[in-house]
Structure 1
């Protein structure tokens, strides 16, 4: 029996081993980074209004008519 298999068969629960936590660290950091990115995107680029008098029709914004 090898050293590592002896350690695993000692009867320790899974959360007492280092490897499960190391393997879960990458996906956990990705989830945290995704949440931070979404929060920043909604804070910085929320619904920006049209301030120059143009009109919005769906996704198209038309410029106001020129005044002479």
Structure 2
């Protein structure tokens, strides 16, 4: 019998305020983390999401 694996999913657009803390809180508990980063906001004007991408890339995997 194989060991179950767990993953986390993030759907993001220019939302890095709590992202680092959120990732750190689950990092050792999951086998994979998937990020879906949009270039188009749900509503309102489009903004630069460079900091969100940089935060994701700052993690070693």
| TM-score category (smaller protein) | under 0.3
- TM-score norm. by structure 2 comes to 0.25
- TM-score norm. by structure 1 comes to 0.23
Q: Which has the higher helix share?
A: 1
Q: Which has the higher strand share?
A: 2
Higher relative contact order (CA 8 A, sep 6+): 2
Return the index of the structure with the highest Cα Rg: 1
